[in-house]
Structure 1
């Protein structure tokens, strides 16, 4: 489940970038109720884009900002409360990682969904039932 973190240059150190992405991964696992699920943990991937100053705008003017985009199969985080919880956690994580270099109102998040059957892992296309099955199989024996 890809997480893309895009930030203005100078907002996060290399260490803070890694900590933020790890925190976003943990937040997703937590709100999905899948902390400790090996299949899910291994398939949450992330990338960080650092854009030069002046290349991020809000209201048509340059700002220091961050964007968190989460891509999921359409069955994931279907509950509105889970979506709200992820966005709140994501904002907190990025704000903390920025260490005062970023205004909270300049952190935006969104969640986008892949259509049924359009989720691929290791060359295998998963439909919703197959994905749920793989997640559940990984949970067997975990408490």
Structure 2
């Protein structure tokens, strides 16, 4: 379940970047009620994109901002409450990592859903039922 965090240079130290990504991972696991699930934890992956300051814009103007994109299967975080909970936790994580260098109103998040059967892990395609089965199987094994 890829997470992409995009920030301008100088907003987050390397340590803060790692802290933010770990916090975003924990937020997703918490909201999905999957903390400790080995299958899910191992498959939350992602990137931290650090762009030149002039390449991070809001309203057409460079700004200290953070963009959080989450890619999930259609079955994940489907409820409005789950989405809201993730967005709140994600904003908290990034705001704390920025240590006062970022206004909360300059944190944007979105979720992109992969269509049924379009989720691949280790070269294997999973449909929603298979993905749920793998997640549940990890919960039983632990």
Q: Distance in 1 between matches of 2:53 and 2:63?
A: 8
Aligned match of 1:97: 97
Aligned match of 1:69: 69
Q: Distance in 2 between matches of 1:68 and 1:112?
A: 11
Q: For the aligned residues, what is the CA RMSD?
A: 0.7
Aligned match of 2:135: 135
Is the counterpart of residue 21 in structure 1 residue 21 in structure 2?
yes
Q: Distance in 2 between matches of 1:53 and 1:29?
A: 31
Aligned length: 142
Is the counterpart of residue 115 in structure 1 residue 105 in structure 2?
no
Aligned match of 1:2: 2
Aligned match of 1:79: 79
Aligned match of 1:38: 38
Q: Distance in 1 between matches of 2:91 and 2:37?
A: 24
Structure 1 segments of 4+ aligned residues over 3 angstroms from their partners: none
Alpha-carbon distance, 1:141 to partner: 4.7
Which consecutive residues of structure 2, in runs of 5 or more, have no partner in the other structure? none
Aligned match of 1:50: 50
Aligned match of 1:12: 12
Which consecutive residues of structure 1, in runs of 5 or more, have no partner in the other structure? none
Alpha-carbon distance, 1:60 to partner: 1.1
